[in-house]
Structures are given as structure tokens and as C-alpha cells.
């Protein structure tokens, strides 16, 4: 009988670990390339940790058969890398409310104008979801509030546009209308699956300068796993920093 090579017990674990890596990569990639829909792509993506777990268990069996601890650890490391991004993505959205539309002004949410024309049949409506969505947001994102900056609306709009483009958004509309009411509308695409979200920034005069409200919502998804709230926080934090840099320093 031919002798069993030391690496033989790890052939299957390595193949399964590579399958986990492929699932983590190809699920989102196939969705972005429109080879399959988001449902299929996310199912493949979130299968990666389970496939990786299978590879790790097989690696443990391989170690017990061959005594090659380092080979087994290498397989487990590869499986862990494949599982890391799906698990991190899942944890980031865990506990997020079942909504897809978030705004800093729940009493009078900014309206979509340019974006409304992109909300065709089969997408989420352009109108805000009303009291039911507002209740969910208040419970989950009590920190989301308007931003007040010490710059006039015209300058605030320009800073908002610069910040939006720096964040990678595609600006669809930018105008300063009657009464110095500023509006900026844009879209943003998620990195993993290429999901499209829409944003409107509203700027109105304030006694110290300008008040800025933001609304961000998913075009297709029924829930957003918290990404719209994260986007608003990030945008307002960078915009506030830019606005502070505009204030002259005394002395």
C-alpha cells in the first residue's frame, strides 16, 4: 500500500477554506456585476463564515491524523480571514432598526426633488415613512440632530457639496433658492454590494449662520443595517470641521 503523504489530510480543508474565500468575494462581486440579485449575493456572502467553520473543523481532524499543527493553523487562519468581513458586516448591522430612511429632522423631513424622479416602480417611495419610521429612529438614533454652523447658507452649501464629493457621493443637484434655502441632492453606492442610497441636504438661514438637515435613504432595500445613520453622522462631522475652519480666529 502506498504511503499517505503528510499533506493529504489537509487537501480537503484547504479546498473548503478557499471556497469560503470565494464566497466572501464572489457574493458581493457578482451582485455588483449584476450576475445575480442582492438576495443571492448576500446569501453567498454570509455563507462564507459557515463554510470557513467547516474548513476549521476539517483542519482540526487533519491535525489529529497527521500531527502537523502549523498546517492546521494555516487553514484555520485562511478560513478566519474569509469569515472576518461577513461577520463584521453582520455585527455592524445587528441591533439596527428595521428602517431604511433616516433624517435629522423628523418633524419636517427634507423632500427629494431630483432623486424623486429616480424612484421608479419597484423602488422605495420618495416620501418619508412618517410617524412609524420616526418612532423607530428616535429609539435607535437619538443622537441625530441638525447641524448649526457659523457660515452663511451660500457658503454652507458650497462646503456641503465639497464634503459630499469628498465622501464619494455623486451630486445630482445643487442650488440656492428663494430665501437662501439651499438644497443638495446626491447618491451614494455601498462598497460591498453596490447598493444605491439617496441623500438630500437642506440648508436654511439660522441666527448664527446656517442650519443643515440631512436625509439619507435606501433606494431598494427594505432595511439598511444602520448605514444611512452612519453616513449622516460621518457627513455632518466632516462638514462641521470644514465650517469651523471658515471661522476667523481672533488675534
Residue 216 β-bridge partners? 102, 199
- Contact at 8 Å (CB) between 199 and 206? no
Model's pTM, two decimal places? 0.85
Encode the chain (251 residues) as per-residue pLDDT tens digits.
344 344 677 889 999 999 999 999 999 999 999 999 999 999 999 999 999 999 999 999 988 887 778 888 999 999 999 999 999 999 988 889 999 999 999 999 999 999 999 999 899 999 999 999 999 999 999 999 999 999 999 999 999 999 999 999 999 999 987 655 899 999 999 999 999 999 999 999 999 999 999 999 999 999 999 999 999 999 999 999 999 998 775 43
Q: Both ends of the chain: CA-CA distance in Å?
A: 89
pLDDT the model gives residue 141: 96
Rounded distance, CA 219 to CA 109, Å? 16
pLDDT the model gives residue 194: 95
Amino acid at each position: 500500500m502506498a504511503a499517505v503523504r503528510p499533506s493529504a489530510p489537509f487537501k480537503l480543508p484547504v479546498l473548503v477554506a478557499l471556497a469560503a474565500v470565494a464566497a466572501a468575494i464572489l457574493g458581493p462581486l457578482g451582485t455588483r456585476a449584476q450576475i445575480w440579485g442582492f438576495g443571492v449575493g448576500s446569501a453567498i456572502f454570509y455563507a462564507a463564515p459557515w463554510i470557513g467553520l467547516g474548513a476549521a473543523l476539517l483542519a482540526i481532524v487533519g491535525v489529529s491524523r497527521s500531527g502537523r499543527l502549523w498546517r492546521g493553523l494555516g487553514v484555520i487562519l485562511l478560513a478566519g480571514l474569509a469569515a472576518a468581513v461577513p461577520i463584521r458586516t453582520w455585527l455592524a448591522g445587528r441591533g439596527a432598526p428595521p428602517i431604511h430612511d433616516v433624517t435629522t429632522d423628523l418633524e419636517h423631513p427634507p423632500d427629494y426633488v431630483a432623486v424623486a424622479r429616480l424612484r421608479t416602480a419597484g423602488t422605495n417611495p420618495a416620501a418619508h415613512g412618517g410617524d412609524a419610521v420616526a418612532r423607530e429612529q428616535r429609539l435607535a438614533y437619538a443622537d441625530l440632530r441638525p447641524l448649526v454652523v457659523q457660515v452663511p447658507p451660500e457658503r454652507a452649501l458650497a462646503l456641503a457639496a465639497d464634503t459630499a464629493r469628498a465622501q464619494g457621493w455623486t451630486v445630482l443637484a445643487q442650488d440656492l433658492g428663494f430665501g437662501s434655502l439651499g438644497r443638495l441632492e446626491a447618491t451614494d453606492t455601498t462598497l460591498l454590494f453596490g447598493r444605491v442610497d439617496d441623500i438630500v441636504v437642506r440648508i436654511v438661514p439660522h441666527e448664527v449662520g446656517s442650519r443643515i438637515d440631512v436625509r439619507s435613504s435606501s433606494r431598494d432595500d427594505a432595511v439598511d443595517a444602520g448605514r444611512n445613520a452612519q453616513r449622516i453622522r460621518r457627513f455632518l462631522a466632516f462638514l462641521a470641521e470644514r465650517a469651523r475652519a471658515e471661522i476667523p480666529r481672533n488675534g
